[in-house]
């Protein structure tokens, strides 16, 4: 009897130990399962920078800083929508920005020569440019015909510029648009537009203000900004090309850099920075590429 009792006690002790052991195991597993949802999820990281950068740790971009409200100078400091957008994109990549200022017609050669990583200069997306670079579009624009206040030549459209002098930025889309329209005028038997190609947009503005040109072409936001900057001096005679897009340019076929910029830009849009910059620089909401 005593022997059986001892055996029963031993068996019970073994069973209790087994239960306690199992409870200990379940407690550990249960602790992980009851953790707050997502606590074990890796923290979201910044968009990866491309493996090749002109200077390690920096996103080096070219810009022609003469095109407000996108890129311009205030007290020798770069400012504008594109400047702040470039900073936001670089921040998402975990790098800093380095700005290379140059004439607009030097931007694509600088990119092709690997002196800059991207072009961040409100560059209009045109077929002839798409043959040389790849674009990441980020905004839609129209072009405006700007004349002196009072519109002394009665300009309302591109056709009305026939036989008049129009100032444009050399190599920019405005010069391309005028040359394309001259083909139409010539086919219609009308005098062509006289092109005054100048180094910067500011030169085109000054030429019109001084009477050396009858008009100049400008983006719709640029024209609106100009009227704030020089009230009563100019007016918008007409607009065209509302389906125009602008974009950040990367080297042709450089899919790694293109993907990196697209990913970072998507984050900038999602976190609200893009919208805030649109509002800060008084850009109409309908111009947004991300609707």
CB contact burial 252-277 (16+ within 10 A = b; e otherwise): eebeebbebbbebbebbbeeebbeeb
Highest mean pLDDT among 16-20, 192-196, 227-231: 192-196
Confidence bin at 187 (pLDDT 50/70/90): very high
What is the structure's pLDDT at 281? 87
The CATH-assigned architecture of domain 143-242 is 3-Layer(aba) Sandwich (3.40)
Per residue in 11-69, pLDDT (tens digit) is 444 333 433 333 333 333 233 222 222 323 333 446 889 999 999 999 999 999 998 89
The CATH-assigned architecture of domain 58-141+243-287 is 3-Layer(aba) Sandwich (3.40)
Domain 58-141+243-287 matches domain 143-242 at the CATH topology level: yes
pLDDT, greater one: 228 or 209? 209
Quote the pTM value: 0.65
- Reduce the secondary structure of the chain to three states and give it as a string: CHHHHHHHHHHHHHHHHHHHHHHHHHHHHHHHHCCCCCCCCCCCCCCCCCCCCCECCEEEEEECCCECCCEEEECCEEECHHHHHHHHHHHHHCCEEEEEECCHHHHHHHHHCCCCCEEEEEEECCHHHHCCEEEEEEEEEEEEEEEECCCCCCCCCHHHHCCCEEEEECCCHHHHHHHHHHHHHHHCCCCCCEEEEECCHHHHHHHHHCCCCCEEEEEHHHHHHHHHHCCCCEEEEEEEEEEEEEEEEEECCCHHHHHHHHHHHHHHHHCCHHHHHHHHCCCCHHHECCC
Angle (nearest 5°) at CA 100 between 89 and 61: 30
Q: Are strands 118-124 and 58-63 parallel, antiparallel or unpaired?
A: parallel
The token duo for 232 is: 């009563």
- Distance from C-alpha of 213 to C-alpha of 217, rounded to nearest angstrom: 11
- The count of residues in the chain is 291
pLDDT, greater one: 224 or 248? 248
What is the structure's pLDDT at 46? 62
What are the residue ranges spanned by the domains of the chain?
58-141+243-287, 143-242
What is the structure's pLDDT at 290? 94
> Do 57 and 103 form a contact (C-beta atoms < 8 A)?
no
What is the structure's pLDDT at 27? 31
């Amino acid at each position: 009897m005593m022997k059986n009792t001892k055996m029963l006690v031993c068996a019970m002790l073994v069973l209790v130990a087994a239960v306690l052991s199992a409870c200990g195991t379940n407690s550990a597993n249960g602790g992980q399962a009851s953790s707050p949802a997502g606590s074990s999820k890796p923290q979201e990281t910044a968009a990866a920078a491309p493996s090749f950068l002109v200077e390690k740790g920096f996103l080096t971009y070219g810009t022609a800083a003469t095109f407000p409200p996108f890129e311009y100078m205030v007290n020798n400091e770069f400012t504008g929508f594109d400047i702040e957008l470039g900073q936001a994109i670089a921040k998402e990549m975990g790098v800093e920005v380095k700005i290379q200022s140059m004439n607009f017609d030097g931007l694509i050669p600088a990119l092709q020569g690997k002196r800059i990583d991207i072009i961040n200069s409100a560059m209009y997306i045109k077929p002839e440019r798409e043959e040389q670079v790849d674009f990441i579009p980020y905004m839609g624009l129209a072009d405006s015909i700007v004349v002196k206040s009072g519109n002394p030549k009665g300009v309302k459209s591109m056709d009305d510029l026939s036989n008049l002098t129009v100032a444009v930025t050399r190599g920019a889309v405005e010069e391309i648009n005028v040359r394309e329209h001259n083909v139409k005028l010539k086919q219609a038997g009308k005098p062509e537009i006289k092109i005054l190609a100048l180094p910067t947009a500011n030169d085109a503005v000054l030429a019109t203000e001084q009477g050396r040109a009858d008009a100049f072409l400008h983006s719709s936001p640029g024209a609106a900004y100009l009227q704030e900057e020089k009230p009563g001096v100019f007016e918008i005679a007409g607009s065209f090309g509302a389906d125009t897009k602008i974009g950040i340019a990367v080297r042709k076929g450089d899919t790694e850099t293109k993907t990196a910029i697209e990913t970072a830009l998507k984050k900038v849009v999602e976190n609200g920075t893009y919208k805030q910059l649109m509002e800060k620089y008084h850009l109409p909401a309908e111009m947004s590429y991300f609707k």
